[in-house]
Amino acid sequence: MSTDIEPREHTELRAAVAALGRRHGPGFDRAALWAEAGKLGYLGVNLPEEYGGGGGGMAELSIVLEEAGAAGAPLLMMVVSPAICGTVISRFGTDGQKAAWLPGLADGTRTMAFGITEPDAGSNSHRITTTATRTEDGWVLNGRKVFVSGVDIADATLIVGRTSDARTGSLKACLFIVPRDTPGFGRRHIEMELDADEKQFELTLDDVHLPADALVGDEDAGLLQLFAGLNPERIMTAAFAIGMGRYALDRAVGYAKERQVWKAPIGSHQAVAHPLAQAHIELELARLMMQKAAKLYDAGDDLGAGEAANMAKYAAAEACVKAVDTAVHTLGGNGLTKEFGLARLVTASRVARIAPVSREMILNYVSIHSLGLPKSY
């Protein structure tokens, strides 16, 4: 992929992470790569320098995830730990929360999961019912979450709840750090058709008692704080998808150059070559939108970043699904063998189309907010 619209430091970061990713490669040991990437400063490249981070932003963090994925060694927890949780704590946490969490999130020795999705409030996060009630010395949380990734390997989960507002009876979104072994914080592994180390969990919060400093940020400024974390999540999901798409495409292109069943390699047939070329173009376009979203976010334009991050996530997911589908087909029967390892990406590539916000919800967002069309729901 050409990278010449990037500053030199970005190209160098890209090359360094690509080399690390290649050393670990497909079939990689997730924990070992996570530890090494953390030690080298890649996991915390977006976090403040005073807390051990690299002092960069989403532009740099998305490069790390994209290149690891392009080498066949994606690190899904980067989408939540440094990107959502690290960002929210850096922007809205107290000095104590920053000191407690950021150095570990930056060097990878600590990990934080993120739980917003609920069984009865999937795409409609305004309907979440996990409720935080104030006590004399802190909070009590009650509720349920689903599909939360990596809770077993995370030291804590940043849980999105609502405070019950005694005065008006309305509910407000707010964020709580819940350490993994807190009494009342239960988890059940949800079996997924995904070939990944990071598992998904259903969570139960049953009278989970938390100290006052478990609340991150202001209990009344919930949505603003939430979106400060959700835009990085979308940018990182785009990076995850572009990395996976590039990996699949590289494998297919390599195969198409070698495989010969008539007089020339199959890649010389345009029916094989054109879909690969199309996939390449669509991945490149998606990356441009991801770079725009990261640039706007890093410049502090949360509103502009919101639209671009949604569009980037949409474009990257669609490009990834198409690249994987094309790659599998290019390999013929080998596309479905375990040895070539591409068929497992068919399910994995669909994740970016569903999570963290589905394709349809992005189309709704663009219809309503970008085009001014009326809302149907």
Binding residues for ligand FAD, per CB under 6 A?
80, 114-117, 122-123, 147-149, 194, 200, 351, 354-358, 360-361, 364, 377
The pairing of strands 200-211 and 138-149 is: antiparallel
Angle at 368 between CA 362 and CA 370, to 5 degrees: 80
Nearer to ligand FAD by Cβ, of 236 and 289: the residue is 236
Minimum distance from CB of 291 to ligand FAD (Å)? 24
Q: Find the helix packing angle between 95-107 and 30-39, rounded to 10°.
A: 120
267 close to 256: Cβ distance less than 8 angstroms: yes
DSSP category for residue 316: H
CB closer to ligand FAD out of 93 and 356:
356
Q: Which is nearer to ligand FAD, 1 or 121 (CB)?
A: 121
Query: What is the number of the residue whose Cβ is closest to ligand FAD?
Result: 122
Nearer to ligand FAD, 343 or 354 (CB): 354
Residue 37 or 357 having the CB closest to ligand FAD? 357
Report the Cα–Cα distance between both ends of the chain, in Å, rounded.
Answer: 40
State in angstroms the smallest separation of the CB of 358 from ligand FAD.
3
H or E element in which residue 64 lies: helix 58-70
Nearer residue to ligand FAD within complex by CB, 149 or 163? 149
Alpha-carbon span 317 to 323, nearest angstrom: 10
Looking only at the bridges linking them, the beta strands covering 156-164 and 112-115 are: parallel
Say if residues 153 and 201 touch (Cβ distance below 8 Å): no
Structure tokens at 49: 């320098």
Q: At what angle do helices 222-258 and 302-330 cross, to 10 degrees?
A: 30
Q: Residue 164 corresponds to which tokens in the numbers above?
A: 């019950």
| Complex with ligand FAD: residue 194 or 224, whichever CB lies closer | 194
Q: Residue 362 CB, nearest distance to ligand FAD (Å)?
A: 9
Nearest distance, CB of residue 146 and ligand FAD, angstroms: 7
- Provide the token pair at 357: 């916000």
Query: What is the smallest separation between the CB atom of 117 and ligand FAD, expressed in angstroms?
Result: 4
Taking the complex as a whole, how short is the minimal distance between the CB of residue 86 and ligand FAD, in angstroms? 15
Annotate 109-122 with DSSP letters as a single string: SS-EEEE--BTTBS
- Write the CA distances from 288 to 59, 127, 237, 301, 316, integer angstroms: 11, 34, 14, 17, 10
The two structure tokens encoding residue 259: 């495989």
Min dist. Cβ of residue 148 to ligand FAD (A): 4
CB of 265 to ligand FAD, least distance (A): 36
User: Is the CB of 285 or the CB of 354 nearer to ligand FAD?
Assistant: 354
